[in-house]
A and B are shown apart, each in its own frame.
Chain A
Amino acid sequence: MSEVKSIEAVEEDIVEEFELFDDWMDKYQHLIDMGKSLPLIDSQFKNDDYIVKGCQSQVWLKGDYSDGKIHFTCDSDAIITKGMIAVLLRVLNDRTPEEIINAKLEFIDKINLKEHLTPTRANGLVSMLSKIKTYALAFSGNKI
């Protein structure tokens, strides 16, 4: 079984990937394409229990805990938001609660997509990140 890459290593991969694009259009196209590979939340859970409401776009997020790790499934009604979730989950999905709690996510700044993580965007991503951390905190007490 291949070694699971550390959060930092995955972050570095993503930064390198995005550095390939000089043009913002190519970068956004890549982001949109990444959204297509999102681990989608089962449609039965796309309800008020799992919604993260933004003023602009909505996000649905579900975290399940098994083998000491949290497995997230997700969706959004906006595809750029979906792309951003895919970027974040590539780093944070299938991680231990401790890894998630300690993740700094500074790479978002390096790939110049930080604007999507500001509250003024009201796209649900900031609330989604805090929900991911809440899942991690809740599961950090579990020792299965």
Chain B
Amino acid sequence: MSEVLHQEKSMIAIEQIRSQFPILSRKVNNQSLVYFDNGATTQKPKSVLDAIQKYYSEINANIHRGVHTLSQEATDAYEHSRKTIADFINAEHAHEIIFTRGTTESINLVASCFGKKFVNAGDEILVTEMEHHSNIVPWQLMCEERGAKLKVIPVDDNGELILSELKNLLTSKTKLLALTHVSNTLGTVNDVKEISSLAHKNGTAVLVDGAQAIAHTEVDVQDLDCDFYCFSGHKMYGPTGIGILYGKEKFLNEFPPYQSGGGMIKEVSFEQTTFTTLPYKFEAGTPNIEGGIVLGAAVEWMKNIGMKNISAHENELLQYAIQQLKTIDGIRIIGEAKHHASAVSFLIGNIHPYDVGVILDKLGIAVRTGHHCNQPLMKHFNIPGTVRASFAVYNTMEEVDKLIAGVKQAKKMLS
């Protein structure tokens, strides 16, 4: 009974939430859009769209420079957003929040600066087998440059990290461990807190790719005790081209600059330049002011709904989708970790994921197909790719039903 009540309660809220997303009422191929590609990017609520409009209509000016009122207002809004984001992930200081272009740039920044400062020939960097390419390649390049070695924590057939291996892989040479909070393909939630603690006991720094976690679960960087946490605005109801690097003050202060230019200097002469303090040291040039301000609006929107409510609703969708998919003969779920969030990957028999994606698109259902920038992981499972449905707070049980009907249709046409 309580379950039924809960469902009804969440249904009412979901309709109210859906009405805030103009794009959700559009048609695709003459069908109502069912958007299950949230892992790639989420749609944007009206408050976020309004914030973009408001920024350019009312306060557009360059920040941190002018003495005029508009510049002051834009600067205040930008810095207010930084504070909002710091509070959202419970960072100790607002200056530990660096605005970047997205998760990829955040990881590149750390790889480059950490590498220059702390990594020498013979050192080791650890990643996991389930990392997105953007949390593999920057480390690979840095290792090549520094003469270091990249090592990999393997994944088991359920899509969970084999943590017993971690103890062997962490050595006196391991300078940093980079891992994802939530796998973009498998939906596996890694125990970042436990892994961070193990790494820190070994004197190893920890970077977390939070791109697939930040919109789906509560993130408390002090509780996780990671040294770096990276995420993208567009995967959390905000705009593209803006992202965050959270870094512990002690590391960021020791890092050399990443990019140089205006805004990040203290004094410049032709003989020597000195650099300014955090966070501006890492924000050279005119930043994405609109993106930074609007990301704050996106965070406010999520806070209003409540991360616990978002998680609970998405979890219901996920469990229902998995349960229903399993009723279809020949379905193979890729990744059945005990702690699972936000996305489910599957295959229908030997049918190529691309073919399934094409048929679902014809039915107005947007899913992701392919290797999801996870080629080593696809190799592990010996598959060309998967079909991935990933959820957001505005998705409904009825949409999951449409997905299941679509998968059955695709199976019929493609078998």
Contact = CB atoms under 8 A, between A and B. Distances in A.
B352 interface: yes
Contacts of A32: 413-414
Central interface residue in B355, B359, B371, by most chain A CB within 10 Å = B355
B414 A57 contact: no
A123 B369 CA distance: 11
A57 B354 contact: yes
B26 interface: no
A80 B351 CA distance: 11
B370 A79 contact: no
Measured as residues with beta carbon below 8 angstroms from the partner, the interface class of chain A is 10 to 19
B384 interface: yes
B354 A28 contact: no
Secondary structure class of chain B's binding surface, majority of residues: helix
Interface string A118-139: 0000110000000000000000
Measured as residues with beta carbon below 8 angstroms from the partner, the interface class of chain B is 10 to 19
A56 B371 CA distance: 8
Interface string A49-68: 00000011110000000000
Contact of A80 (B29, B355, B384, B409): B355
Interface in B398-415: 409, 413-414
A116 B359 CA distance: 12
Contacts of B354: 56-57, 78, 80-81, 123
Contact of A56 (B29, B351, B369): B369
B152 interface: no
A59 to B, nearest CB: 11
A29 interface: yes
Contact of B352 (A24, A29, A77): A77
Nearest to A25: B413
A55 B370 contact: yes
Given A25-B413, A28-B413, A32-B413, A80 B358 contact: yes
A32 B413 CA distance: 9
B369 A28 contact: no
B385 interface: yes
Contacts of A58: 384
B230 to A, nearest CB: 24
B27 interface: no
B116 interface: no
A68 B354 CA distance: 36
A24 B29 CA distance: 10
Nearest to B359: A28
Contact of A78 (B352, B371, B409, B413): B352
Contacts of A24: 29, 362
Central interface residue in B351, B371, B385, by most chain A CB within 10 Å = B385
A79 B362 contact: no
Nearest to B369: A56
A56 B375 CA distance: 12
A28 B413 CA distance: 8
Contacts of B409: 25
B411 to A, nearest CB: 13
Contacts of A79: 351-352, 355, 414
A28 B29 CA distance: 14
A104 to B, nearest CB: 25
B298 to A, nearest CB: 26
A55 B357 CA distance: 13
18 contacts: A28-B358, A28-B413, A32-B413, A56-B353, A56-B357, A56-B369, A57-B354, A58-B384, A77-B352, A77-B384, A78-B354, A79-B351, A79-B352, A79-B414, A80-B354, A80-B355, A81-B354, A122-B370
Given A55-B370, A57-B384, A77-B352, 20 more contacts: A24-B29, A25-B409, A28-B359, A28-B362, A28-B413, A29-B413, A32-B413, A56-B354, A56-B357, A56-B369, A57-B352, A77-B384, A78-B352, A78-B354, A79-B352, A79-B355, A80-B354, A81-B355, A116-B358, A123-B354
Interface of B: 29, 351-355, 357-359, 362, 369-371, 384-385, 409, 413-414
Nearest 3 CB-CB pairings of A with B? A78-B352, A78-B354, A56-B354
